[in-house]
Amino acid sequence: MSDASRASDKGRVFADDERVLADEGRVLDAVRRALGRSETARPDPLEPFDETNAEGEAETSREELIARFTFEAGAVGSHVHRADSVGELTDTVARVCADADVKEVALSGAELFAELNLSARLAAHGLSSFAASDFGPGGREGLIARLEGCGAGVTAADYAIAETGTVALGSDEEGALLVSLLPAIHFAVLRPSQIAWSLGAVIERLKAERMARAEPCRSATFITGPSRTSDVELVLSIGVHGPKELHLIILGE
Amino acid sequence: MNHAEQDLAGRSHAALEDAVLQTALKSATDTFISRRREAVAGVPEWQALRARARRVKEHTINNLDYYLEQLAEKVREHGGHVYWATTGEDVGHYCIELARARGVTSVVKSKSMATEEIELNHALEAAGVRPIETDLGEYIIQLAREKPSHIIVPAIHKTREQIAELFAEKLKCGLAREVAEITAVARERLRGEFLSAGMGITGANFAVAETGTIVLVENEGNIRLSTQVPRIHVAVVGIEKVVPRFEDLSVFLRLLPRSGTGQKQTAYVSFLNGPRRRTRGVEADVASRSSEQGQASESEFEFHLVLMDNGRTRILADERMRESLYCIRCGACLNVCPVYQKIGGQAYGWIYPGPIGAVVSPLLQGLKQAGELPFASSLCGACRDACPVDINLPDLLLALRAKVKEAGADVGVARNFAERTAMRGYAAAVKRPKLFAAAGRLVRGLARLVSKDGKVRSAGVPALGEWTKYRDLPAPRGGSFRERWKKKR
């Protein structure tokens, strides 16, 4: 098939092209030959592994989890705030935005934000906001430009890990992914109940709740601190590509 | 790919004489070693994690066909495309055809050893597709048109002053004084590239067979931007990167950052399951486009997984060497290696440096081309201790040396008559205990005869020139080990 005829059939060319399938056969045959067999056999599953976490999480109290999460997140340059009410939450966002001279914030489409009526509350602080879940008339490019122009994005975390001060966002929503990435300041709101002790526990929940279902979540991101690099002389430099500031707001029940 | 006209010894000499490089290497390897040690000390079950990681890799590699088929099936189920590449050229052709078909002229790339290995950038450039490296270290290397010197920190051999001058020259910006200024320039320039590129090309740290998830570990955020801003994402992944189950990730994600940079967790870990879904706004966008232009597909997100062999099945076929495919590319073995610490990554001459590079480069490139690398090791074993998947690197290096000799490559060869005779004599004597003892007495006597002030210097024995050029051989004192052992008992 010539390049020209391939190019004309834009949707399917790279899906089930004959040559693509032949290449698949060739690589798989080479793998089987290297392993000394002619047909793929289903292996016995790997024996289970009890990933004993020496510090243990069973007997860790909620407050201990929060304390460790706060400590570890702080150690990698995140700012952790406690908010006992939605009023305190909006105060925190407004204060940080005022300090950074930010006038407009993007909100992910999290249900929590609608429940809290966050947009109106921020407006009362003089902060305008927009929902990044709806691309609006400018389409995707329009949203990206808007996210580039605003100073901060607010998302709701799905999980958090105390051991490393990590928050996890699992989302299909195109907007939510970009809200936590393009603006210079990222706020992630989380509930104390979302904090697990270890990575292993969150991996298990992420799999069961989002990855292994019939229509799996298309992406998830673990975020541990602001964007960083040590590529020049191993000197730590914050905010190279992603957000320069990460604010984690623990919203109490 | 071999970027040196000199041989390994020549490149090593050049590296040893480069004062800037020596300072950078010392500081980088010392820092990484101490950070890693601290991070590992915080995990009392470290050895159990290592053993488990090794077990998972062993199981996966021994059933690679099954897990690859499962992975491909899952990715297709999610709406992604899967392409199987036998060679690096195949990968290049695929990316170029895809770029042409979609009208893509610039590609944002995030650091990927797999694409470095196959020099994908050259192929893209030759085809008129502009690749932009977006990891800060790789960006610096690309601007300087060099090769990375470390798996984790590619531009570790450059000082901030050199980088500031490079930026000023290539990017026509002011001369930066602080590291933060350099970072700011890169952020601003590259953000523009992310927003205009039609395609993002990444590697992958892991690919989960049962869920079809591609996992990417990073600190800068350039991988997130490469995979989430352009409409098309291509992940070029060596076939050995697959792991069976999603749960397996927790062991590897605890081992990798601690081993690589000494971090408990990197700033970002992305889990990607096929192409992104369109949201309401985008669907409206697509509908309007298709009515106007009849080209709905242009607005859709695409995910392409390129599974690359490029010599890996050759390694797989060799049962002795197979475990080199367990490597998760953390770079820990580089930092602890006394040879790497002195010569750095570029002297190795191939994209994978250090102990793991000395194993996989000859296997991927050919014993004739890179066969001298396994000899560049003291076999001290520090690499194995540091390896998070417990690859027996000293053993692989030894076995490879034998292979190189069997293949008749022109390395590790005695340089003169005296050396050849000594080696033949040693080979004959070592198999006969009595002869060995007698020969030992003879050699010790001779060595004492030519020694001066307790040292055997090259001036004394010209044939030993290369052996004693940089160090003195202490003159033997007392009897042999066996003689002393007998007395002790």
pLDDT tens-digit profile of B452-461? 888 877 655 6
Query: CA B241 to CA B308: how far, in whole Å?
Result: 10
In terms of pLDDT, which residue wins out, B86 or B489? Answer: B86
Which of the residue ranges A13-17, B208-212, B480-484 would you say has the lowest mean pLDDT? A13-17
pLDDT reported for residue A11: 42
User: Which residue of B159, B272, B273 is in closest CB contact with A233?
Assistant: B159
Per cent of chain A over pLDDT 70 is 90
Residue B486 to residue B481: CA distance in whole angstroms: 9
pLDDT band at A212 (very low <50, low <70, confident <90, very high): confident
pLDDT at residue B29 is higher than 70: yes
Tell me what the pLDDT averaged over chain B comes to: 90
Residue B212 host element (H or E): none
Contact B69 A231 (CB under 8 A): no
Degrees, nearest 5: CA angle B170-B176-B179: 110
Q: How far apart are CA B372 and CA B348, in angstroms?
A: 10
Window from A8-17, B214-223, B263-272, B408-417 with minimum mean pLDDT = A8-17
SS3 B133: strand
The yes or no reply on domain B43-310 and CATH 3.40.50.10420 is: yes
State the Cα–Cα distance between residues B76 and B73, nearest whole angstrom: 5
- Closest chain A CA to residue B257: A164
Looking at the predicted structure, is the pLDDT value of residue B59 above 70?
yes
* B210 contacts B244 by C-beta, under 8 angstroms: yes
Q: How far from chain centre, in Å, is Cα B350?
A: 9
Bridge partners for A67 per DSSP: none
Are the CB atoms for B117 and B93 separated by under 8 Å?
Answer: no
Residues in Cβ contact with A130 at an 8 Å cutoff, skipping those fewer than 6 apart? A104, A106, A107, A146, A150
pLDDT for the residue A57: 54
* Shortest Cα–Cα distance, B83 to chain A (Å): 6
Q: Which of residues 1-40 of A touch B (CB under 8 A)?
A: 3, 6-7, 10-11, 13-15, 20, 23-24, 26-28, 30-35, 37, 40
H or E element, residue B304: strand B302-308
**Digit-coded pLDDT (tens) for B124-138:** 999 999 999 999 999
Q: What is the pLDDT of residue B293?
A: 33
Identify which has the larger pLDDT, A7 or B323. Answer: B323
- CB pair distance less than 8 Å for B267 and A53: no
Q: Which has the minimum average pLDDT: A100-104, B96-100, B294-298? A: B294-298
Quick count: other Cβ atoms within 10 Å of Cβ A65?
Answer: 21
What confidence tens digit (pLDDT) does each residue in B147-173 have?
Answer: 888 888 899 899 999 999 999 999 999
| The pLDDT of residue B287 is above 50 | no
Compute the distance between CA of residue B388 and CA of residue B40 in angstroms, rounded to an integer: 10
Which H or E run contains A70?
helix A62-75
- Name which residue leads in pLDDT, B472 or B317: B317
Least confident of A86-95, B24-33, B461-470: B461-470
A158/B contact by beta carbon, under 8 A: no
**Cα–Cα distance list, B115 to B332, B342, B442 (Å):** 21, 27, 55
State in Å, rounded, how far the first CA of chain B is from the last one: 57
Selecting from B64, B134, B276 the residue whose C-beta is nearest the C-beta of A31 gives B64
Name the residue among A20, A72, A174 with its Cβ closest to that of B279.
A174
Task: Find chain B residues with C-beta within 8 A of A23's C-beta.
Answer: 83-86, 90
- Is the CB of residue B8 less than 8 Å from the CB of residue B358? no
The packing angle between helices B280-293 and A139-149, to 10°, is 130
Q: B417 burial class (0-12, 13-18, 19+ CB within 10 angstroms)?
A: exposed
Q: Which residues of B touch A47 (CB under 8 A)?
A: 55
pLDDT beyond 90 at A60: no
With cut-offs at 50, 70 and 90, classify the pLDDT of residue A9: very low
Output the pLDDT for position B337: 98
Residue boundaries of the structural domains of chain B: 43-310, 417-488
**pLDDT (tens digit per residue) in A216-250:** 889 999 999 999 999 999 999 999 999 999 999 99
A219/B235 Cα distance (integer angstroms): 15
Picking from A161, A167, A158, A157, the residue whose alpha carbon sits closest to that of residue A200 is A161
Is A135 close to B284, i.e. CB distance below 8 A?
yes
Q: Given the DSSP bridges, would you call strands A228-229 and A237-238 parallel, antiparallel or unpaired?
A: antiparallel
With beta carbons under 8 A apart, name residues in chain A contacting B267. 76, 223-228, 242
Q: How far is A181 from A63, CA to CA, in rounded Å? A: 30
In which band, very low, low, confident or very high, does the pLDDT at B323 lie, cut at 50, 70 and 90? very high
Chain A residues in contact with B224 by the CB 8 A cut-off are 177, 181, 221, 241-242
Neighbouring CB atoms inside 10 A of B288's CB total 13
**pLDDT for the residue B449:** 85
The pLDDT, as a whole number, for residue B463 is: 64
User: How many Å lie between the alpha carbon of A98 and the closest alpha carbon of chain B?
Assistant: 22
Amino acid at B149: S
**What residues in A contact B191, CB-CB < 8 Å?**
148, 241
Task: Report whether pLDDT(B66) > 50.
Answer: yes
A162 secondary structure, DSSP code: T
Q: Report how far residue B305's alpha carbon sits from residue B212's, in angstroms, rounded to the nearest whole number.
A: 10
Distance CA B226, CA B221 (A): 9
